[in-house]
Structures are given as C-alpha cells and as structure tokens.
A and B are shown apart, each in its own frame.
Chain A
C-alpha cells in the first residue's frame, strides 16, 4: 500500500514569510483534491512531496522512509507529477520520444519504455499522433502529452497540478477516466484544482488550503457542504450545490445525477 505521511511540515523561501505553517496529513488510497486560492501554498506543498524543495521543519515519509534521503530524480521513480504548463517540459521533436523520456530516465528498458509510452498515449487519446511534433499540436493536446509522460513512468503516486485548465468537455471527461483508472490500479492520486465542479464530482477526499494551513480536510461531501469554510478560503460552492440552495432543496450533492435523483423524489412526493 502506498502512503505519504506528512508531519509538522513547515516551509519558507525567505526568513520572514512562511509559506507552509505546519501541515499534518496522512495520504493514502483515496483520490484527493487540494483546493484553495492562489498563494495558499498548494503548489509549494506538492513540490515538497516531490522533493523539489526541502522542508524547513518537519518531515515527509513515503512508505516509511524520509523523502530527504532521496534526490528529486530518485523520487521520480515513485512519485510522478504533471505540471501546470506543458511548455515547461516538452523538448523532443516527436510526441512518442517526449513521453519515453521519463521512463528511460528511471531505468526502464527501451522496449518497456516504448510500450508504457504507447499505452499512456492511448489513455490520453493521442495514439495517432506519435510521430507529430508536439509544437504542431494545440496547447490542450500538449497538456495531454505531459500527462502521458507521467503516466508512462508508472509511479505509485501521481500528482496533477491543475489538469483541467484550458480543457474542453471531452478533455475533462478523459481526465476523469484517467483518474478513476489510476484509482482502480491502487495508485495514490493527488490533484490541485480550481474547478470545484470537477473536484466535487471526481474526488473522494478534499483538502482546503488557506494561507499555509490546512483549513479543512475530509470527505469531499463534507467539505463542500461547509459553506463557511469555503467562504473563508474564498472558494465557490460547486454548481450542483448552488442550484440546490437556490431552489430551496436541502441536502448535500456532489454530482449532477445525485441532484437530479433528489429533485425527482421531491417532485413526485
């Protein structure tokens, strides 16, 4: 079983400004969404998990061993992360080679890397673009390349930073599928999100960050029902909750079908 144990995690770039002010979390199994406004410390937090930054205080344990003992490149074998902007990583002239870069780095054989890359590209729907130059594709397709590049590394933990940004309906649906498949493979999925509808619909657990602290941590359902906390973190409720509230329907809803079912019950009563 994969788990990340975070104890008393502090971090600051400069002496006088703490970005993370003592985070305690135990992450395992469930798919987890991290929400919060910009500057809340979400990206810094996941960079620490990835070993790209080192804690100023506290520790992160990955399956029982301290991440301090790994280099970022070592940790890459176990923890994968998809960054916000795909343009910050793409450098190969062919889609397939770009996706094979990570697997080869972490010691996969050429053939294995190719197979993993092909499989990953299929998941993101780019299996017919293998030989294309990534820069001839659109930004949202390049984002899919960067997702495939991490999936192909087959890590135990997969972190996404804003995967839905700039994606249309089909793109979001595809990312949903990818996340649920990762979940069924027993991977630990962690995702920074601005899209509350997506967070409510897809994730089992939601953590609200605010000013370097965890403001609320719990099942997605509980978190999104807590209007006060969301307001404190300057977040909107998901649209399903807004609709329910607007038409005076009690209860907590995270997906459209839940809301429709409840409405139908109320309707035919």
Chain B
C-alpha cells in the first residue's frame, strides 16, 4: 500500500522567481526507508516541508500538484491534523526544543497535550518513546542541559510519541559531532526495525547506502532518479548532480568491479568484500 503519493508537485516560495520543486512525482510504500540526496540547493528541505504540510501552509507561496499521505491530501488539511500523520525532525536540535518544558519527559508530552491525548495513553506513549530512543535515564533532565546528540534524540522521541505514519528526518546529524551522529543513527536503525516509514535527507552517503530501500535524487528542484541505492549510486553522472557516491562504490567504479548478479556496483562494505572474495 502506498503511504505517500506525490503527483506533479510544483512549489515556489513567496518573493522568489524560481521553482523550489519542479514537477516531482513519486510513491512510497508503508515501512520503506527512503534516502533523500542532492546538493545543498537541490530542494531536499522543500520536499520535506511539502510532505509535512509546512509547504504550503506555513511558508505560503505558489503550489501545484498533489501530495497524499495515507490518502489525506496535504493541501486540504491544517498542519495540526497533518502532524498526527507526519513527523518532522530537522538539523538544529536546539531550536526544536519548545523551551516551555523543564524536563525531557514533559517536553515529549507537549505534542500529545496539544493533540488532546488522554493522560493514561500519554504516559504509555512517552515511556515507549523514551525506550525506543534510549533516553530513559535522562527523562528528568532539563532538555537544554543535554548534548546535541541527546537533544536530537529527544526531538525525535517527541515526534514519534505522536505516532505519525511517516517520519521525516531532514539532515538530522549535520550539526552533531561523531558520537552524537552515531547515537542518532543507532536509534534510526531501531525505528526501521519497528517498521516505521522513514524519509531521511542526508549528506553521509555511507549511511544512506546502509539503511535505504530506495534513494531519491533531487537536483534543482527536479526528481532526477528514484531507485535502489545500487542503481542510483552506480550512475555515471552523479558528480554532475553534486553527489559523490559512497567510498565503496567509487572505489569499485575506479576498479570496474561490478556485482556479478546485478551488473551494478557494490554500495556497502559487506557487498564489496563479498565481491572481492568471489572474483579472487
């Protein structure tokens, strides 16, 4: 079943004269992990905003085409309703903390209070999110006293507790140190195991090739490719779209070493070592 269905999406921010998204169409199945890649001005964030209703409801501007999430047309509904179906986490962990809550536990409750969730249910959900994001031991701490990686996990937990069908992560580790990124990727891995539908924009191609079922490549607001990681990363024109393939793939390309079964280049460490073993 398609949980996301985007058809001919066009979008232009107010007071600009260039389309940020230009005729983008794609579908996502429930439980899939989609890696969203592209250079810094490609339109990744705009697409994340369009899936979560911030485009057009928050940013306004000119909008065309259709975005359906679980059958609900984003344009026809308010962000409050959409937020129950789509969760968004972005780069800066600090500005995602509400600032009005004095403990992690209450911070996670914020969205649930706004949704009008009953107290008993609320507590069950918060406890579950704390567990899933491995932040149980800091539940009584002030969110602002946490490290970037911990704060980002609280941001994800706060969104997950609202039980969205789709989780959108817009460069969630760009502002974190290696430890913080590792912490976040570890919990992202947990969430994929839970069967959550995830869309993640990310510059770390090694992580994309590790987690993604499909990779969506954007450039200049247009959808360039939407395919398996090995098909996308095997493209010869990646550099023209401002992307460097994972190190594994680019080494294999330089060697002309394709996988014997698919005729494409390997994208992960285990694939390349398997290939080396086979061919030796």
Contact = CB atoms under 8 A, between A and B. Distances in A.
Report whether chain A binds chain B. yes
A187 to B, nearest CB: 27
A178 interface: no
Contacts of B242: 168-170
Given A243-B247, A246-B273, A165 B254 contact: no
Interface stretch (A12-20, A47-55, A107-115, A255-263): A255-263
Contact of A263 (B41, B246, B255): B255
Contacts of A24: none
Q: Is the interface of A mostly helix, strand, loop or mixed?
A: helix
B127 interface: no
Interface in A31-85: 37-38
B250 A166 contact: no
A218 to B, nearest CB: 21
Nearest to A141: B40
Interface in B164-205: 171, 174-175, 177-180, 203
Contact of A138 (B41, B177, B244, B269): B41
A186 to B, nearest CB: 30
B247 A169 contact: no
B93 to A, nearest CB: 13
A140 interface: yes
Given A166-B171, A169-B242, A247-B273, A239 B247 contact: yes
Contact of A168 (B40, B147, B251): B40
B272 A243 contact: yes
Contact of A243 (B40, B91, B243, B251): B251
Contact of B254 (A37, A239, A256): A256
A256 to B, nearest CB: 6
Given A243-B269, A247-B276, A168 B254 contact: no
A236 interface: yes
Contact of A264 (B177, B255, B276): B255
A45 B235 CA distance: 43
Q: Point out which of A141, A166, A197 has the most chain B C-beta atoms below 10 A from its C-beta.
A: A166
B111 to A, nearest CB: 26
Interface in B198-242: 203, 206, 239, 242
A171 B174 CA distance: 14
Contact of B175 (A166, A171, A240, A264): A166
A244 to B, nearest CB: 10
B45 to A, nearest CB: 9
Given A243-B248, A259-B251, 9 more contacts: A38-B177, A138-B40, A167-B40, A169-B39, A169-B244, A239-B246, A242-B269, A243-B269, A248-B273
Contacts of A205: none
B13 to A, nearest CB: 11
B87 to A, nearest CB: 22
A256 B247 contact: yes
Given A138-B40, A240-B247, A165 B175 contact: yes
B151 to A, nearest CB: 13
A45 to B, nearest CB: 16
A91 interface: no
A256 B252 CA distance: 11
A234 interface: yes
Contacts of B177: 37-38, 194
B247 A197 contact: yes
Interface in A161-213: 165-171, 194, 197
Interface in A103-137: none
B39 A38 contact: no
B40 A171 contact: yes
A191 B180 CA distance: 20
A169 B204 CA distance: 10
A44 to B, nearest CB: 15
A235 interface: yes
21 contacts: A37-B178, A38-B147, A38-B177, A38-B180, A138-B41, A140-B40, A141-B40, A166-B175, A169-B203, A169-B242, A171-B40, A197-B247, A235-B178, A240-B247, A246-B269, A246-B273, A247-B273, A248-B273, A260-B251, A260-B255, A263-B251
Contacts of A267: 255
A264 B251 CA distance: 10
Q: Point out which of A240, A246, A264 has the most chain B C-beta atoms below 10 A from its C-beta.
A: A246
Closest 10 pairs (CB-CB, A-B):
A239-B247, A260-B254, A247-B276, A166-B174, A168-B40, A169-B244, A38-B177, A247-B273, A246-B273, A168-B39
B242 to A, nearest CB: 5
A141 B269 CA distance: 33
Given A256-B251, A260-B255, A236 B178 contact: yes
A80 B274 CA distance: 48
A239 B267 CA distance: 13
Contacts of B239: 169
B273 A169 contact: no
